[in-house]
Structure 1
Amino acid sequence: TRAIATETGLLMSEVSAPIPETNGQKTVSISHVLTVDRNSNYEMRMLIFDRGAISDSGSVMIYGLSAITPESKISGIDLKKVDFTATGFSEGKAQIKAEMYLENVDSGASQSFTMVVKAREYYSGLVADTASIETGTIKQDETIVKSVELSVPEDYNYILGIELWNGNVLLNTWEKAMPLSPTRVLPNGTTEMKTGLDVSKFVREGGGQPTYPDPGSKDSRSAPATPGFEVIGAAAAVAVALLVGRKRK
């Protein structure tokens, strides 16, 4: 079996296996596993050799391998929503508590992952503050709440970037808007004006009382060394079953 890249026509991988002897006419299954770059498309060409000569052949096209999520990238964790609470205000900076609702949608308990939370200014993309926290083990179908504290300059709008890491592997990312200087559209639909949000008026002493069970984990105000980007030899295993009929001679 040969894997030929459709873009270049080059042979990217090749494997072979003997066809077992059979009594009379019988269908047997021959399986191959080829490792190829998952960012390409392929023609899987099957050749049957008999005494060194090709006696039969067939092919099938393989597309969309890049859409397959590698096992190392699957976490089973889904971010359901994020709540923001103003916990303090001083010297032009607002202290914001971000509470993240995490649900385990996998078929079993999850392992513990690292969440890195970054507050980016909406227009420039500049990171105003970063925090990190461990998710801990989450039982199947369970939803837990994890929170971090962020200190950001007032009168700006932010995008909260949430990254889920397993060691040096980035599993997932989410983004949530955190506007501290919101605007509203006037009736003509073309002009925007600031709504005059005063963050200090929304400060809640103690960060407010949660109405959900507190998982008991403490925030980590200093983010760990940013995990390196995973270098994956993007490979996918493709199994091809070849059905042949062969008579014993």
Structure 2
Amino acid sequence: MEKRDRKKHFILILLLVVSFTVSAGCIKDFEEGSNYGITDIEMSADSVKSSYVDLNVTAYIENRGADSKGNTTLLFKAFRQQTGLLEVSEENEVGVIEEGDTVTVSQQIRLPREGSYTLRLDLYEDEQRKASSSITIRNLEAMQTDLQEIGLQISGMDFMVKNVTSGKVLIESDIYLKNEGSKSTENYRMLVKAREMDARLLADKEWTDTGTIEPEATAIRTVSLTVPDDYNYAVEVSIWDDDVIVMTGEDYVQLNPEKVISKEEEVQNKNIQTGDFIVEEGFEEPMATEETSESASEAAPGLGSLMTAGIILSALLVIRIKSRRGKDE
């Protein structure tokens, strides 16, 4: 029984060691009779786009024996794990590696932003393979795309109704663009679209420019969109660098919002008079004038009449008192 338990423990430890070796990603492979070894592989993402990833791969090559007899070459190959097919192959000239030296070789490779890959590195000297190593690349689709590499951030949107005519609403959209980079931005093209939220139909779209924005500054770009009344819309903003979308943002305008009533979660449409929200040019709040006192007196009708009646009653009372005194005398 004790021998069986020891055997189980040995198998468990062996599985853990194998699992750790595979999950570490880098598997060393030294050729017999070779003085060379690829001791480490480092990777970093130079750029992450919606469809591909540019990886910077750095290999550390060590010469543990005599000086290399000829020029050495490092070959980078990426195989798709699902199919085993070769996806990318790049070659980098290393040159002569002296005894005891460790050199670094960097190479950029571009891979589709999907699936898993095995990256294999082979070191050749005079067309003979001297060392090899491999590393596994997974979950590229989980990497965040660098849409904000231009420095711009869509920090918010405001909407105003400018006109309502024949079932059409003119909406003025203010888009806030903030430069979070360390230098002035370039002038990019910006597309603003109003899309109906249920049917996803496009109601209107307009092109404009972002303009040049200084570091840490926020600029407002205004676009007018005309849409049918009584619908809800998603206002979509996309910033273009030539034919590439580098930034996106979205906000909502609800001309026919809904509210939840009763315990049964019944949905009821809220009627909004869009014309009530029209913002006229040059609109200012009226200033208070001296006529306020007059309007205040007018707001209390009958006050003057009461005062007059009081005076008359007082006079009559005085006359009556005097008449009584006269009779007593």
**TM-score band, normalised by shorter chain:** 0.7 to 0.9
What letter matches 2:178 in structure 1? E
Per the TM alignment, residue 29 of structure 1 is displaced from its structure 2 partner at its CA by 1.9
Give 2:119's match in structure 1, choosing from 20, 33, 44: 44
- Higher gyration radius (CA): 2
CA distance in 1, matches of 2:100, 2:185: 50
Contact map agreement 1:46 1:59 (CA 8 A) in 2: yes
2:191 counterpart residue number: 116
**Matching of residue 100 in structure 1 with residue 175 in structure 2:** yes
Partner of 2:157: 82
The TM-score, its normalising length taken from structure 1, stands at 0.74
Aligned residue number for residue 228 of structure 1: none
The AA in structure 2 aligned to 1:78 is Q
How far residue 62 of structure 1 moved from its aligned partner, in angstroms, is 2.2
Give the match for residue 28 of structure 1. 103
CA distance in structure 2 between the partners assigned to 1:55 and 1:164 by the alignment = 49
Give, in angstroms, the shift of residue 52 of structure 1.
4.6
Displacement of 1:177 after TM fit? 1.1
Matched to 1:34, the amino acid is I
Residues 160-179 of structure 1 correspond to what in structure 2 (within 5 A)? 160-179=235-254
C-alpha separation between the residues in 2 aligned to 1:128 and 1:148? 14
CA shift, 1:78, in A, is 1.0
Task: Give 1:218's aligned residue.
Answer: none
Q: Which amino acid aligns with 2:238?
A: E
Query: Alignment RMSD, CA only?
Result: 2.4
Query: Cα 1:176–1:19, aligned 2, differ >3 Å: closer, same or farther?
Result: closer
Give SS of 2:156's match. strand
The 3-state SS of whatever aligns with 2:281 is helix
**What SS is found at the alignment partner of 1:75?**
coil
TM-score between both structures, scaled by the size of structure 2: 0.57
Q: CA deviation at 1:171?
A: 1.8
Does the aligned pair in 2 maintain the 1:86–1:207 contact within 8 Å?
no
- Aligned pair count reads 208
Instruction: Tell me by how many angstroms 1:207 deviates.
Output: 8.2
Whether 1:129 aligns to 2:204 is yes
Q: Which has the higher contact order (CA 8 A, sep 6+)?
A: 1
Match of 2:8?
A: none
* 1:75 to partner: Cα distance: 2.4
Q: Distance in 2 between matches of 1:159 and 1:35?
A: 35
Letter in 2 for 1:118: K
Q: 1:45 to 1:129 in 2, by over 3 A?
A: same
Change beyond 3 A, Cα 1:129–1:62: same
